[in-house]
Structure 1
Amino acid sequence: MNLLKKLLCAKCSANFSTKEVRKEYDAPADFETAITASGFGKFNYIVLVLSIPMCWMTVFETTTMSYVFPAAQCDLNLTLEDKGMLNAVTYGGSIASAFVWGFIFDTMGRKQPLIVGFLLDGIFVLLSGLSQNAIFLMVMKFFGGFIMNGPYAALTSYLSELHEAKYRSKVPIYTGLCVSVGTIYLPLLASFVLPMNFKAILADYLVLHSWSLFLLLNALPALMGGFIFFFLPESPKFLMSMGKNEQALKVFQIIYSINTGNPKETYPIKTLIDEPKTNDQHKMSESPLLNGWRQISPLFTQPLLRTFILVCSVQLFMIMSLNTLRLWLPQLFQAINDYKYFNNGTSSTLCNMLSVIQPTNDTEECFVNFDNSEVYMNSIIVSSVSACSYLIVSTVVNVLGQNKLLNLLSLVASGCAMGIYFSPNSDIALLFIAAFNSLASVGSNVTLIVVVDLFPTTLRTMAVSLVMMCGRGAAMIGNIIFPLLLEMGCAPPFLCLASLLFVCFCISLMLPKPNENFI
């Protein structure tokens, strides 16, 4: 609770006085007035705490395969190419559903689609845990990515719409912190489950392993999210936008009552304004394709086109390098661990240690080393450093400005990628990997801040969505290419990562200053 207060309530107390909230409003209130009158307190804390497992859903959906590969490679006969495809298909699914989810949440609200989305994602994760071959697992991961994309984006909107303006900007920081905690929890869970190395035969064609149990357990956050939303209210902002003011007023009364402890009837606002409908009926009569093009077309004309291409390119190269290496880290750490296992615990240069994952032509029996606590510890260290980096950067972003900060992050991250390749031992490699992951992760988020500052209010959401889609597409391509680079040798993958980030640095130098595109 103290952490939530620090993040969302810098100069207030959760226990505000009754006089402050009992102020009577004679005229119908707009959304901002109504949500402010409902206060900030127990309801907000409860919702934010309950959202933690939901924030973890996207982390688990995109990252679980990274920990499954070393344990399941023999059971599923996984090649390097199979591993790359399993990482990539999740992003392919999320790209395929981007516009579908946007339409659903804009027309059906937040609550019901979130319930369905979380429950469906949980079901697909459960099915992935029952996989007996790589093809079935790929199909389940694709559908998991297809489902995952919408609920997480809508969750951030939902939480924001339950907070007044002065706390609303802090919600993305909170959700980002929750995601970072999830990246720490995941290897911790893997360290307990995957080394169990059991085999349970449930039927002739259904065999469960420790990695199966790991995937089944990862369905819990999504299933919990769907269950929790049965008891949460619909977004009052959405209800007002649909003309359902009576229902919205009831939601405001519930929030007010929980926050203050006062009866719902004492909520000071009695009526809400009718929000204007800006050509809604006209838009509804248009085809979805025409309506969608009408929304995004300004991004593809001057003066915004050049800037849009630049920010998409920055995010593309940043995310391609970040999520390619991030999703292969457990496999790389496993290779380092295996090298030490076969060499009496001695370390070597990174290239020598990674030679154990190179494909061979011999007929040796497939081997999985479950004595790998170091793999999970290294993953926890990298995730922890990344979480801490957000706190550090938040103190310097206003000093340097987001453009200069993005320049610095991409350049130093490029140097760290080179450092990984030249690492003389595993400890130095871990140091450069943690630095690379932190800098690139923060850089991808700073890029989104740059997007917000460079585009008009009416285009910001669409610009951010399209830029994020470019990032997901890049992550998909990167994970398909990375195993091919690994097969070529040690230098190609890391030199390629360094080159991508250096190109990112060069492009970031061409970004305009905030508000140069519009007044």
Structure 2
Amino acid sequence: MDSLDTEDDLDAVLIASGFGGFNVIMGFISLFVSMAIIFCTSIFSYAMTSMECELSLTNAERGTLNGMVYFGMIAGATFWALISDNLGRRPVIILSHIGDAIFGNILALSQNFPTMCVCKFLSGLCICGGYSSFLTYLAEVHSSSKRTPMMFLCGFMLNIASGILPIMALIILPSDFKLGNDKFSYASWQLFLTLGTIPSIIVAIGFGFMPESPKFDIHHGKNARAMNTLKKIQYLNGKRGQELPDITLYKMEKARFDFKGMVNAVKKHHLIALANLVVIEVCILMCQNTIRLWQPTFVQIARQQMENVTFCGVVQELNRPKPTPTTVAPNMTNVNAEQVCKSNVKASAYLGNLYICILCFDGFLIAMLLAGHYDVVKMLVGMTIISSLITIAFLLAESYLGVLTVLGLYLCVEYVSAMAVNNLAVHYFPTIVRTTFLSIIQFSGRFGSLVGNHLLPQLMGLGCYYVIGWLIASDITTVLASLLLPKPQKRQVVMI
């Protein structure tokens, strides 16, 4: 078995292809991919502020609904990864977003808690493949010098997507819009869920016009198609008529994909990196996604208190028993005709969430500007230490604005840390197993998110200090695992 190092050659081609129109298109698509994954995971946490009385949701049920999407992601991660590394990044991105749009619309029409859980599971099962494959695609169509900024751009788009949600909620959820009868109803929060599927539809249609990843084609011996793709990229970037470098690209015509090739491509340092990145991803996403999905509920309760608001006070309020519902879903029996619980959602209730998103936006913009000047591992360690300090600040905030500011800063540094992990993943692993390993890492992160959404209600029941201790313990574990990461080595393409 011979091996051929082609990373420098592929970088040379991508650099010669230029940076311009194609990369702008990729940035534009990354916004809708980010909206699709954020809407899939977070949109229900906003809808619950409008529908919680109707379904009389307990803290455990809220956690279950938030966690079902991650359960689906866990179930689908390996399947989509193998499909992506066998059939290509492009078909997985298209099919998974189509599936998310279908089940998202069924979710919007659902009338009871069990059906919603099933639909959230199926949406998560679909969307996970598209997002992982897109991150791989984004990395593979950029040279090593542009890869880190583009990966952080994707994280920046996640922040924009997170800011769009409260704006949508502010416009749609306070509305009295409602259709239907006693057997079937369609209210404003269901319209909110329906509109949340539009980004997935746009991504599925948009990627129908995009080429396959040239690196994927090269590793599967489709060199002619890869060169055509690179020439199209060169054309879109405004470098028409210029010759691409004469490189060793065609030496890879005999390369083929199989399980043996995947195994042979993986070395000891890859496995060490994978193990540490799995631990880091679990710790970061367990805390980040859990706090992010509970953010609208935290903000709503803090706004109701307004004066002398503290994080511990918000947690204490969440532990109070819920009143019986005012209105009852069609599948439920109204045993209490007296109106006790009323949702009473106002547009101003979502301004706090928008403020948090603006903080995340500004912080991530600064991180993007610094990304190309600092080592990613050092940035990850630094962000995690800052996260611990911000976590302690939860105990010091004693106003509505203070609690919101701490929440926003915490989520900001956690976003940056999560994108740093994705950036490390695409640098550490060979192309032939990149999506598979990236999916394993994201699989572990989603498992952490699932655990976090079930663990947080239990910790809140014990008190806010247990929540703070959990967040800090996760940060300490992240720092230790980051310091154990090996240095990235030059990748090779296996030839048999």
Q: Which aligned pairs between 1:145-184 and structure 2 lie closer than 5 A?
A: 145-164=124-143, 166-184=145-163
Shift, 1:361, TM fit: 7.0
Distance between the aligned counterparts of 1:495 and 1:161, measured in 2?
39
Distance between the aligned counterparts of 1:225 and 1:324, measured in 2?
26
Q: Quick check: 1:470 aligned with 2:431?
A: no
Identity of aligned residues (%): 26
Q: 1:482 to 1:372 in 2, by over 3 A?
A: farther
Tell me the equivalent position of 1:514: 487
Tell me the equivalent position of 1:97: 76
Tell me the equivalent position of 1:337: 303
Tell me the equivalent position of 2:388: 414
Q: How many residues align?
A: 469
Distance between the aligned counterparts of 2:165 and 2:221, measured in 1?
42
| Deviations 1:277-336 (CA, angstroms, capped at 9, x unpaired) | 67737x36x7xxxx8776668469xxx64x654443333222212221111010111112
Choose from 254, 263, 276 the match for 2:252.
276
CA contact (8 A) 2:140 2:214 kept: yes
Q: Please, what TM-score do these two structures have when normalized by structure 2?
A: 0.82
CA contact (8 A) 2:276 2:482 kept: no
Q: Which aligned pairs between 1:77-226 and structure 2 lie closer than 5 A?
A: 77-164=56-143, 166-201=145-180, 205-226=183-204
CA contact (8 A) 1:406 1:508 kept: no
Structure 1 residue identity aligned to 2:487:
P
Distance between the aligned counterparts of 2:203 and 2:490, measured in 1?
40
| Deviations 1:448-479 (CA, angstroms, capped at 9, x unpaired) | 55667777898776554433322221111000
Q: 1:180 to 1:278 in 2, by over 3 A?
A: farther
Q: Quick check: 1:368 aligned with 2:368?
A: no
CA contact (8 A) 2:31 2:157 kept: yes
Aligned CA-pair RMSD? 3.6
Secondary structure of 1:494's counterpart equals helix
Q: Quick check: 1:443 aligned with 2:417?
A: yes
Choose from 294, 305, 322 the match for 1:328.
294
Tell me the equivalent position of 1:5: none
Q: Which aligned pairs between 1:376-455 and structure 2 lie closer than 5 A?
A: 376-394=350-368, 401-448=375-422
Tell me the equivalent position of 1:13: none
Distance between the aligned counterparts of 2:231 and 2:370, measured in 1?
40
Distance between the aligned counterparts of 2:82 and 2:34, measured in 1?
21
Structure 2 unpaired stretches of 5+: 1-8, 326-339, 492-496
Distance between the aligned counterparts of 1:455 and 1:111, measured in 2?
20
Structure 2 residue identity aligned to 1:327:
L
Q: 1:75 to 1:259 in 2, by over 3 A?
A: same
Secondary structure of 1:200's counterpart equals strand
Structure 2 residue identity aligned to 1:224:
I
Q: 1:371 to 1:234 in 2, by over 3 A?
A: same
Q: 1:189 to 1:96 in 2, by over 3 A?
A: same
Q: 1:427 to 1:514 in 2, by over 3 A?
A: same
Q: 1:69 to 1:427 in 2, by over 3 A?
A: same
Q: Quick check: 1:351 aligned with 2:351?
A: no
Tell me the equivalent position of 1:492: 466
Residues 152-161 or 266-275, more deviating: 266-275
Q: Please, what TM-score do these two structures have when normalized by structure 1?
A: 0.78
Secondary structure of 1:170's counterpart equals helix
Secondary structure of 2:55's counterpart equals coil
Distance between the aligned counterparts of 1:310 and 1:405, measured in 2?
16
CA contact (8 A) 1:88 1:479 kept: yes
CA contact (8 A) 1:54 1:225 kept: yes
CA contact (8 A) 1:335 1:354 kept: no
Rg larger in 1 or in 2?
1
Distance between the aligned counterparts of 2:256 and 2:223, measured in 1?
17
Structure 1 unpaired stretches of 5+: 1-29, 341-345
Shift, 1:243, TM fit: 3.5
Q: 1:293 to 1:358 in 2, by over 3 A?
A: farther
Q: 1:184 to 1:37 in 2, by over 3 A?
A: same
CA contact (8 A) 1:76 1:134 kept: yes
Q: 1:99 to 1:299 in 2, by over 3 A?
A: farther
Tell me the equivalent position of 2:285: 319
Q: 1:510 to 1:225 in 2, by over 3 A?
A: closer
Tell me the equivalent position of 1:479: 453
Shift, 1:183, TM fit: 1.0
Distance between the aligned counterparts of 1:402 and 1:255, measured in 2?
28
Secondary structure of 2:185's counterpart equals strand
Distance between the aligned counterparts of 1:250 and 1:412, measured in 2?
46
